[in-house]
Amino acid sequence: DAGVIQSPRHEVTEMGQEVTLRCKPISGHNSLFWYRQTMMRGLELLIYFNNNVPIDDSGMPEDRFSAKMPNASFSTLKIQPSEPRDSAVYFCASRVAGNTIYFGEGSWLTVV
Amino acid sequence: DAKTTQPPSMDCAEGRAANLPCNHSTISGNEYVYWYRQIHSQGPQYIIHGLKNNETNEMASLIITEDRKSSTLILPHATLRDTAVYYCTLRDMRFGAGTRLTVKP
């Protein structure tokens, strides 16, 4: 079975540009998580959805970040405008409620 | 903020058991303890989880204290490939800094 699929795997963009990260959760999973990982701050939970509804977005750093889940098989994390300090690895993860979570391979973002 | 605390780093000799502790003193009665590991820059990988009984699978064993305020992940015969960052987490799936385990020859 396919795991959590993220795209793009790597992106380099200029400061001020819009960045859109995409995630396809595992089929049948009804919870989806977005994480950001940096050396300084470790693995931070940004937002999670249950049944396509955002439940906790307290980890979203600021208004430049937004996340959507229009259906059970797709989610996006958008950064507009991007800044160099947004450079990080962004992980998407999914699970069936209450069970273990499965992570994607991550999207490596560099903002120059 | 994560509700778990772990030592930042540990070393272990290859072939020996690696015992990784985690404190979760504010755990609630129905919360499971989950362990994950992250090798290099891959996505974290599930290892094991438990509620109050000790658990064992093909990867590791999990020992949870009777008061459930702490747990220990045991890798019985550590190999070089077990070098990774190990995280324990609870239901909220927030991760702390984890423990960087280095297995040495």
Q: Could you give the 3-state DSSP secondary structure of residue A52? A: coil
Furthest CA-CA distance within chain A:
39
Q: For chain B, what percent of residues have pLDDT higher than 90?
A: 79
From A105's Cα to the closest Cα of chain B, the distance in A is 5
Residue-wise pLDDT for B7-53, tens only, equals 999 999 999 999 999 999 989 888 899 999 999 889 999 999 999 98
pLDDT (mean) for A19-44 = 95
> Contacts of residue B49 in chain A, CB cutoff 8 Å?
100
Q: What is the pLDDT of residue B93?
A: 86
> Contacts of residue A33 in chain B, CB cutoff 8 Å?
93
Query: Would you say residue B104 has pLDDT above 90?
Result: yes
Torsion, Cα of A82, A23, A42, A97 (10° steps): 140
Q: Do A45 and B95 touch (CB under 8 A)?
A: yes
Query: Would you say residue B1 has pLDDT above 60?
Result: no
Size of interface A-B (CB pairs under 8 A): 40
> Contacts of residue B38 in chain A, CB cutoff 8 Å?
43
Q: Do A48 and B41 touch (CB under 8 A)?
A: no
Q: What is the pLDDT of residue B2?
A: 59
Residue-wise pLDDT for A79-96, tens only, equals 999 999 999 999 999 999
List residues bridging with B20 in a β-sheet. Answer: B73
Cβ-count burial of A32 within 10 angstroms (0-12 exposed, 13-18 middle, 19+ buried)?
A: buried
Q: Do A42 and B93 touch (CB under 8 A)?
A: no
Q: What is the pLDDT of residue A13?
A: 97
> Contacts of residue A42 in chain B, CB cutoff 8 Å?
95-98
Q: Do A45 and B93 touch (CB under 8 A)?
A: yes
**Backbone φ/ψ region at B93: left (φ over 0), alpha (ψ -120 to 50), beta:** left
Residues in chain A: 112
pLDDT band at A1 (very low <50, low <70, confident <90, very high): low
CA distances from A97 to A70, A72, B37, B70 (A): 19, 13, 21, 24
Q: Do A42 and B98 touch (CB under 8 A)?
A: yes
